[in-house]
Amino acid sequence: MQKILNFIGGEMREPIGGRYFETDDPSVGKPYALVPDSGAEDLERAVAAAKKAFPAWRDTPAAERAKAMHRLADLIEKNQDAFARAESIDNGRPVAGCAAVNIARGSANLRFFADEGVKFAGGKFKTGKIESYTLPQPLGVVATISPWNLPMLLFTWKFAPALAAGNCVIAKPSEITPMTAYMLSGLANDAGIPAGVLGVLHGKGADIGAAITRHPDIPAISFTGGTVTGRTIYAGAAQQLKKVSLELGGKNPTIVFDDADLYKAAEGAIAAGFSNQGQICLCGSRLLVQEKIYNEFKRLFVASAKEIKIGDPLLAETQHGPMVSKAHMEKVLSYIDLAQQEGGKILAGGQRHIVDGRCKDGWFIAPTVIEGLPMDCRTNQEEIFGPVVTIMPFKTEEEAVALANGVEYGLAASVWTQDREKADRVSAQIESGIVWQNCWNVRDLHTPFGGVKKSGVGREGGRRALEFFTEEKTVSRIA
């Protein structure tokens, strides 16, 4: 079985305790690699290497840092097929989606933040005789903790702005999908990223993750993951007054008005509901459809959901792969059972799906559509994070907004209507960090990204991420 290693001080290192655990290929339902079960002693080693590297990296001109980051992006692109295949095996997303999204965004994140880092500068002010300027300065050794659902995309999204701003980073990928972070760490030396600037520690959240968040020499943690974990990290960080950025769960609405282009809206709602097997924080899991078009739209949506091609994620034509793990498949199936107990009617999917051949033991669930549930039931309130969409009718714009806002989460929403004024009115009223009009998951990396309510604290994206990873010092004098 392939052994994954930590990357510390520019070297691949075994965990000091010598312990490993298995990670699975979800498409075949079997372990395929060993992951370091890192502990506090590995963290000490990584922090020491990062502290040693920090002064030189901080003092390296941003344009030089950017060159190293662009070289790392070049190496991702050169190895794109190997990365996409590895991500697909590790995570279950079909290989075409891994190449087009997860891996392509890996290099795009590095390039984007490399260039943003060069532009990033303080301000100048003059009021009366007071002249001031500001210096955004890196924090030192910072940590990033990322989840399993878009491994390479989120791993790079977190650490790239930290590096660009002149910090050294200890990055912890998810223990469920560690492979592409490991592969990427193996390219850092070739890219010319100095030893210690990027450390990658593998292991379990409750062990190495918690140790990272407690470490007194790590003043900032950028976390993407579940709301429950985010709360634990927030509480721990408060004890030491650390900076935290929390990107958490979602329960996002897709709102379709009766004047929408129905075919485009159905296509968008399918992408929102089932991309990456519904395992994207931005997925639209609550489909709200205006009464007049409800039946027609439902027919279209359900028929399209049934046409999604489920299968071996390594085949180019596959659209829908397995759930990331057995435990996660069981969690999602338990929510489908719950939905039926709560009075929901299954219109599509609704069970484990068996794929013939190589993937016969894989952890697949067919795209599932459920009708007839009230907004206040658990199925409509809790994040399921799988290929499960509930569909329900609404009468008026006010009702649509009330239903959209009737959950504890507030990450993203999509609104489908040909009436621009209505789209803007509804966008302004929806309680979420992001609203898409007649599209879904369209991303300009300059724009703020983050959630309200239980979906997160703070904003990433563009210069906001660079601001998070710096402290801005004000210098004033009398002219």
| Residues with catalytic function | 247, 281
What's the CA gap between 228 and 209, in Å, rounded?
Answer: 14
349 binds ligand NAD (CB under 6 A): no
What's the CA gap between 391 and 298, in Å, rounded?
Answer: 8
411 binds ligand NAD (CB under 6 A): yes
DSSP 294-341: HHHHHHHHHHHHHHS-B--TTSTT--B---S-HHHHHHHHHHHHHHHH
410 binds ligand NAD (CB under 6 A): no
Q: Which residues contact 340 (CB under 8 A, 6 or more apart)?
A: 346
Among 12, 16, 96, 210, indicate the residue that binds ligand NAD (CB under 6 A): 210
What's the CA gap between 336 and 351, in Å, rounded?
Answer: 8
Taking phi first (over 0 means left), then psi (-120 to 50 degrees means alpha), and beta for anything else, what does residue 196 get? left
Interface stretch with ligand NAD, choices 51-59, 74-82, 146-154, 193-201 (CB under 6 A): 146-154
Looking only at residues 277 through 336 of this chain, which bind ligand NAD when binding is defined by CB under 6 A?
281
Nearest approach, Cβ of residue 32 and ligand NAD (Å): 19
What's the CA gap between 209 and 122, in Å, rounded?
Answer: 33
Strands 434-437 and 243-247: unpaired
Length of the chain: 479
Nearest approach, Cβ of residue 187 and ligand NAD (Å): 21
272 binds ligand NAD (CB under 6 A): no
147 binds ligand NAD (CB under 6 A): yes
DSSP 354: P
Place of tokens 């305790």: 17
CB atoms near residue 390 (< 10 Å): 24
116 binds ligand NAD (CB under 6 A): no
Can you name the residues that pair with 348 across neighbouring β-strands? 369
What's the CA gap between 405 and 68, in Å, rounded?
Answer: 44
What's the CA gap between 162 and 143, in Å, rounded?
Answer: 9
Of the candidates 350, 383, 353, the residue with the CA atom closest to the CA atom of residue 281: 383
Nearest approach, Cβ of residue 68 and ligand NAD (Å): 25
Nearest approach, Cβ of residue 460 and ligand NAD (Å): 8
Among 39, 136, 205, 393, indicate the residue that binds ligand NAD (CB under 6 A): 205
Can you name the residues that pair with 271 across neighbouring β-strands? none
Terminal alpha carbon distance of the chain? 68
Among 7, 20, 112, 148, indicate the residue that binds ligand NAD (CB under 6 A): 148
Interface stretch with ligand NAD, choices 15-23, 29-37, 115-123, 144-152 (CB under 6 A): 144-152
- Closest to ligand NAD by CB, 85 vs 459, is 459
- Closest to ligand NAD by CB, 297 vs 449, is 449
Binding footprint of ligand NAD, residue count (CB under 6 A): 30
Looking only at residues 211 through 270 of this chain, which bind ligand NAD when binding is defined by CB under 6 A?
213, 224-226, 229, 232-233, 247-250
- Closest to ligand NAD by CB, 277 vs 417, is 277
Nearest approach, Cβ of residue 301 and ligand NAD (Å): 22
Binding footprint of ligand NAD on the chain (CB under 6 A): 145-149, 154, 172, 174-175, 205-206, 209-210, 213, 224-226, 229, 232-233, 247-250, 281, 383, 385, 411, 451, 456
